Structure 1
Amino acid sequence: MKYTGSCHCGNIKFEAEGEIASALACNCSICQRKGSLLWFVPRTQMQLLTPEEHAKAYLFNQHKIAHRFCPHCGIHPYAEATAPDGTPTAAINLRCIEGIDLAAIPVHHHDGRAI
């Protein structure tokens, strides 16, 4: 299935294709503060509908994950990293996807603080 999403102001828009079977809630220092519910897809399954330079990146700790955010409204719609198998991956914030029922998606909790 194809989903569309954006930041709050629409400066960053994207489409993602796949099956949302579950979400991940992480308690690391940044995810805890953002409150994101993450859906991971290969980066090839996510297409930006706005220019890539509209999104700024925040890197911290080991600088392995580019946390993308809108410099206008501050919303973090996705992050980019490399999966353990080497696949470029997008971690999409499900709270930025239009028209889905978040209450119907099972959430797995990840102890990111322990890493």
Structure 2
Amino acid sequence: MSTRPNKTYSGSCHCDSVRFEIATDFPELTTCDCSICRRKNALMVKVHESQFRLLSGEESLSAYQFHTYTATHYFCRTCGIYPFHRKRVTPDHLGVNVFCLDDFDPSNIPVRATVGAGMP
């Protein structure tokens, strides 16, 4: 169980076209070994859709789906940065790239490696 209080964090893509907020206590961060996550090398926090708010830039987002077409990975059309994705196994949750959060240091949060490559 996390000892961090639930707090709101702001984030964006590199060019600031896509802005969002999340509320989380950061129980853990995850990496994934599936073909897309391995290539984008993101460090993610899982948040329920009710704890995520897109502030601006919906028109700047491009979506990418593959394999089962359940997960949806979002990228900024301008700068190409991946800020978040809708998860495959828990589609009411998003994986948020913590490197897109403003003034956030992930160094003291446990990281769990997830297996995406072996998912059927």
Indicate whether the TM-score tops 0.5.
Answer: yes
Alignment equivalent of 1:63, drawn from 59, 69, 81: 69
Report the number of matched residues. 113
For residues 51-90 of structure 1, what are the structure 2 equivalents within 5 Å? Answer: 51-81=57-87, 83-84=89-90, 88-90=92-94
The answer to whether the 8 A contact 2:21-2:52 is kept is yes
* TM-score, structure 1 normalization: 0.91
RMSD: 1.4
Partner in structure 2 of residue 97 of structure 1: 101
The answer to whether the 8 A contact 2:60-2:78 is kept is no
* TM-score, structure 2 normalization: 0.88
Structure 2 gaps, min length 5 = 1-6
Runs of 4+ in 1 over 2 A off after TM superposition: 81-84
Identify the structure with the greater helix proportion. Answer: 1
The answer to whether the 8 A contact 1:40-1:90 is kept is yes
Q: Does 1:113 align with 2:79?
A: no
Structure 1 gaps, min length 5 = none
How far residue 83 of structure 1 moved from its aligned partner, in angstroms, is 4.9
How far residue 81 of structure 1 moved from its aligned partner, in angstroms, is 3.5
